[in-house]
Amino acid sequence: MFDPKMGRAFLIVTLGGVFAVSSVFADSPTVTAVLRNSEAMVGETVELQIKVNGRGSAKPPENILVEGLEIHATGTSTQFEMRNFTTTSSVIYSYTILPLRGGRFTIPPQTIRVGGNSLQTPELTLNVVDSSGLSSAARPSRSAQSGNAGKLVFAELIVPKKTAFVGETVPVQIRLVFDPRTHPQLVEPPEISGQGFTAQKLQESGETPETIDGRTYDVATFKTAIAGARAGKFEIGPVKAKAQVVVPRRPTSPRARSPFDSFNLDDPFSDPFFSDPFSQFGERREVEIKSEPVPIEIKPLPQNAPSSFSGAIGNFTMTTDARPKSVQAGDPITVTTTISGRGNFDRVNAPVVEDEQGWHKYPPSSTFKQDDDVGISGTKTFEMVLSPNEKKQSLPVIAFSYFDPVKGEYLTLRSEPIAITVQGGTAATQTTIASAPRVTTPATAPAAPKQEQKPADILYQLTERPAVAESFAPLYTRPVFWIAQLIPLLGLLGFAGWKTRQARADNREARRTAALQHEAAELMRKLHRGNLSPREYYAEASRVLRVKTALASSNRGIDPNTVDVETVAGTFGLNGDSRERLRRLFEQSDELQYSGTHDGLGKISSQTRREVLELITNLK
């Protein structure tokens, strides 16, 4: 018998085993590094994250030394992830970078010890723009902000770059600045107008108080990303939004100058709010908030795009893994490729297999996990199933090409050859490992020209045709469907009719039975009274017997008028003396009815009456 305790123990052991196995076979530790923003201004901080995947304690660098940059560790966070019974943990070490001067900085690879392994982060590049190199509209300078400072409500459009490539994702920030006394209510969210670019959906990233030129404002920040659709010089914006704000009522008479403002000082009490004694009941008005447009130059991408280039622009790293590593020929191997970094992930398509000879490739699936509000930074994971048609020693090289806007060139990341064992099948005519270049991951060698790789080919033509033409019309719009519904409907109607008829028949039978019972009762009352003549008495007695017989055999529907001695005797199972008495009663009744003697002796003895009544009442 099944013991619940044993079952529970078995479940715990099984789960423990699964976790133990998954831990044993967990990925070997890897390390990636990513800059939250590859572009920054002097004095603007940028976050650097070093992510260590895998178990074991890691020793990250406490300080990273780069001339012109101040880099300090700011914290550590841990992530746990479970997928297909495989748990992965990762530790993220965060650093803050403060650029001290403009220029292009290279953050060298950092060595991190994880358990017994020594891993290196990829080299990162940070472009720092001197504040003088930006237009006032692109990044409002102090003076520009000072110009806005007197206003109650204004908008800023912040575009960190003045030039970009077609398709390159440029993060954009919109700041709506309100004087808190205006009690703003946003009526229409900000909208970026302009041509030549596409903009993602705006994401509101919160409202914070900020001091601008000594005055406190509430700043609502919206984030989005734009991508140039074609080359040329364009203007982004202006950004327009509508809000309801409380504005002070217009003074009816010129206001006396504040004694504090005699020397044209910036007297806070000179503010119009304080000139109106009813300022708190100020007028609520809808105002349009508009920023200055920002010019941007969109440059075309270079012509020598590699064939595996799918439009990805940014800075990416790639890791590849495959499961299982030992298969039979024809069995599927799931190749998981993870592309992390910063760029236009909507254009990051699955990496390509460089040499498909001896492999059958199935369409890949993908998932994207974004690390920021607008989806510029994150990790896209592709799962592609490859099936070896012949003996193989390693997986084919997986390649992913992208355009690096900082370097201004196409780069191709290639996976390291992953050793596998394929049982069965014929020997490979040309092993993948021999044909593929051995490049370490992530290799950032310039991509090969387009002609080197063949494009994915479509499947063959089909020659079969159905005998009947197919239709796009849904089944429920076709007459045949509704005609088919008539079958159960007619069945239902037929059933309803049959039930009605049966109910009526039952009703008729019930009425007949009730009438017969009533008649029998009435006759019995008459027989008990004793004031009947013999002819009437015997006639009523024989009638009672007939009615009782008809009632007893109601399922046969016998008419009381057709009941004779044999029927009564048969129905009630009479024999011997009872049957003889019954015959005599019927004969007596018939004799009195038809002989003309009418009432015979004139009176029935009480003995005879008792016998007759006893005979009738015993019939059950």
Site residues for other proteins per CB under 8 A: 193-198, 200-201, 229, 310-311, 347, 349-350, 362-363, 455-467, 469-472, 474-476, 481, 484-485, 488, 492, 495, 499
Q: How far is the CB of 10 from other proteins (least distance, A)?
A: 33
388: amino acid identity, one letter: P
| Token pair 């024989």: residue | 542
- Alpha carbon distance 210, 412 (integer Å): 44
Closest to other proteins by CB, 256 or 469: 469
Closest to other proteins by CB, 310 or 336: 310
Q: How far is the CB of 385 from other proteins (least distance, A)?
A: 12
Query: In this structure, what token pair is assigned to residue 119?
Result: 């891993």
Q: How far is the CB of 113 from other proteins (least distance, A)?
A: 41
Angle, vertex CA 311, rays to CA 306 and CA 312, nearest 5? 100
Q: How far is the CB of 502 from other proteins (least distance, A)?
A: 11
Residue 86, helix vs strand vs coil: strand
Q: How far is the CB of 456 from other proteins (least distance, A)?
A: 5
Q: How far is the CB of 155 from other proteins (least distance, A)?
A: 19
- Are the beta carbons of 435 and 339 closer than 8 angstroms? no
Closest to other proteins by CB, 295 or 560: 295
Strand pairing partners for 172? 224
For the residues of 168-221, what is the DSSP string, one character each? Answer: -EEEEEEEEEE-GGG--EEEEEEEE--SSEEEPPPEEEEEEEEEETTEEEEEEE
Closest to other proteins by CB, 229 or 329: 229
The set of residues, in sequence order, having a beta carbon less than 8 Å from that of 161 and lying 6+ positions away, is 39, 170, 296
Q: In 405-524, at which residue ranges do the beta strands (DSSP E only) sit?
A: 409-414, 421-423, 445-446
Q: How far is the CB of 522 from other proteins (least distance, A)?
A: 35
Q: Taking the CA of residue 313 as centre, how many other CA atoms within 13 Å lie in the half-sphere pointing to its CB?
A: 21
Q: What is the DSSP letter of 167?
A: T
Closest to other proteins by CB, 72 or 499: 499
Q: Taking the CA of residue 339 as centre, how many other CA atoms within 13 Å lie in the half-sphere pointing to its CB?
A: 31
Q: How far is the CB of 503 from other proteins (least distance, A)?
A: 11
Residue 430, helix vs strand vs coil: coil
Query: In this structure, what token pair is assigned to residue 8?
Result: 């529970």
Q: How far is the CB of 375 from other proteins (least distance, A)?
A: 10
Q: Exposed, middle or buried by CB within 10 Å (0-12, 13-18, 19+), for 171? A: buried
| Token pair 């490979």: residue | 428
